Amino acid sequence: MGELGHVLVLAGGLSYEREVSLRSGRRVSEVLRAAGVDVETRDTDASLVPTVLADRPDAVFVTLHGGAGEDGAIRSVLELLNVPYVGADPDACRVAFDKPTAKAVVRSVGLRTPDSITLPKETFHDLGASVVLGRIVDHLGLPLFVKPARGGSALGASIVRTAEELPAAMVGCFAYGDTALIERCIEGVEVAVSVVDLGDGPVALPAVEIVPDEGVYDYAARYTAGHTEFFAPARLSEAAAAACAETAVTAHTALGLRDISRTDLIVDATGAPHFLEVNVAPGMTETSLLPMAVEAAGRDLGTLCRGLLEIAATRHSST
């Protein structure tokens, strides 16, 4: 891999996760500078394309969360500009970003994922909310977990322990997206497994266990220091940790991802992992899970990010 010159970190955007993205971008820029990389951080506004064309970066690190950052749109623009970037290509992003589709793909390769129903807002209203919700409870049982089919940071997501809580959960979900994913809630240990590929194939980093103070890993629990306790590596048996690592790598591969991803799992009482969702642009803030996993693996975040940028630049030059 050759030496990197000028690189660009994309952060911000216009999704609900803008503030988190800005924090991720600052963190990545800081660790890259510490690793000796010439970094520029930019938002995705009307000046981006002219700036890139006038001063083409060697590679781009995308730290945009939600919306265009993870649905493949910005990556499609980068490909139009013939600029290399870290992470999955647009087609893989589109599949991974849509949670019901991603669940179908990983189930097709034998991974466990909670039974679920996908319900667009129009169907919810047109068929009669009370009748539909009653059948969902009858079919999936309780508790349930409701979340937008697309998006992240637990925005619009909530746990439902009684049938009476489901209507409010649906309304909260539809505030952040037009389609709801209603899953059977698997009780167990919540973990996140990051996967990185520096050229020798995808490798799982140590699982990070998530223990939120209020019992639910919501937006505040994710991004407010002290609201969640983390264990890296997770307090799992050797067999369960190995199963989580295998699940994350299998999901990464089945979904056609590359370079970097983070898979969220629930480990049940038997030690079996259940796939929840995958992130193609994992958070990189001070309270984010991938940096914790990197530290638990005894690696340096700046060196890792630099290596991923070098991989992207090399991949581009070879094609």
**From 15, 17, 209, 310, active-site residue:** 17
**From 21, 153, 158, 194, active-site residue:** 153
* DSSP code for 225: T
d(CA 219, CA 17): 10
Catalytic residue status for 70: no
d(CA 184, CA 146): 9
**From 15, 116, 261, 288, active-site residue:** 288
| Residues making up the binding site for Mg(2+) | 264, 277, 279
Q: Contact, 82 vs 52, CB < 8 A?
A: no
Neighbours of 125 (CB within 10 A): 11
Catalytic residue status for 209: no
Q: Contact, 85 vs 134, CB < 8 A?
A: no
Catalytic residue status for 17: yes
Rounded-to-10 torsion of CA 149, 60, 31, 96:
20
- Which residue type does 173 have? C
The pair of three-digit structure tokens given for residue 37, joined into one six-digit string: 């990389």
Active site residue ranges: 17, 153, 288
